Amino acid sequence: MIVRVLGSAAGGGVPQWNCACRNCAAARAGKQPRRSQSAIAVSAGGGRWILVNCSPDIAAQVEYFAPLQPTTQRGTPIAGMLFTDANVDHIGGLSVLRQQGDHRFIIRSSQTVREIAQAQPAFAPFTQPPHAWLDVPLNAPCAPYDDGDPVGRDLRVRAFPVPGVTPGYDGRRTITGAAVAYEVSTVNGRTAVFAPVFSAFTPDLKDAIRRAAIAFLDGSFFDDDEMIRQGLSGKRARALGHLPVGGDDGTLANLETRSRVIFTHLNNSNPMLDADSSAAAAVKRAGAEIAYDGLEITLE
């Protein structure tokens, strides 16, 4: 299985177009890496690819990664998508793919995410033929849809709910299926976990991380109040549906695994973006990593 980080930032990317915070200024000055919005590409062998989320930056991300570029006059190696939530930074790329022609995407998400997307004119066409937008069975393997489905034939996928809220445009409702995580496994059993959005740990999430060779986890915020302290927003991380990485009850304090843990979906306020910060040092001491655009991992 090949795993490629297409984008590692939360909504707006780094730098964010309307922000001059410390991290955005550093990225503009070339002192920190620029980051596009969060998405990951997964393939069993490099021919067909599944996207774990599809950010509004998808067009540029395709141009930076040749295996996702078309090999015919009209076409794409992207066969399908797995959506963890309905936030615009994770499903907004569908509006970029609106000129898809006759290509058929097989999309999977929770019923909650599908219903939210279906109510939005920019995303609704992808719930109709020729596409197939399927509700993932929670806590059970996805069944194959047909011979064109990259899930079930090449890879095994299990979705499970994690605590979270629906997007701000949907009222931030606390409802099952607002956020899900995915275990993606090869036929020989090597597993990657994708959980870029969650507001608390559950036994199922902890168990999945322990079993995984690699786990991509929610790295949106290091501190619950970091945006408040920086004068960027009056909102706390948990109110937005994200468990902070730091703190006595944050993600680092809950990790009990020797798996390779990589934090992604980093907000521009996050001090972890500064490699010289105490937050970045805490991540390193824990044996974890911080994702970056272009990170690529192969699980044999």
Mean pLDDT by 10 residues, the chain (300 residues): 97 97 98 98 88 97 96 87 96 84 84 95 88 88 58 81 96 95 88 97 95 97 96 94 96 91 98 98 97 95
Q: What integer pLDDT is reported at residue 152 of this predicted model? A: 56
| 15-71 pLDDT tens trace | 999 999 999 999 999 999 999 999 999 998 878 899 999 999 999 999 999 999 998
- Nearest C-alpha neighbor of 240 from the set 230, 257, 226: 226
Q: What integer pLDDT is reported at residue 34 of this predicted model? A: 98
Output the six-digit token pair for 90. 């994770």
Q: What integer pLDDT is reported at residue 101 of this predicted model? A: 59
- Nearest C-alpha neighbor of 220 from the set 254, 269, 171: 269
Output the six-digit token pair for 235. 């909102």
pTM of the predicted model as reported, rounded to 2 decimal places: 0.95
Q: What integer pLDDT is reported at residue 74 of this predicted model? A: 84
Q: What integer pLDDT is reported at residue 73 of this predicted model? A: 84
3-class SS shares of the chain: helix, strand, coil, % to 5:
25, 25, 55
Q: What integer pLDDT is reported at residue 256 of this predicted model? A: 85
- Nearest C-alpha neighbor of 253 from the set 223, 229, 212: 223
Q: Do residues 156 and 150 touch, judged by C-beta distance below 8 A?
A: no
| 140-164 pLDDT tens trace | 777 554 555 666 567 889 999 999 9
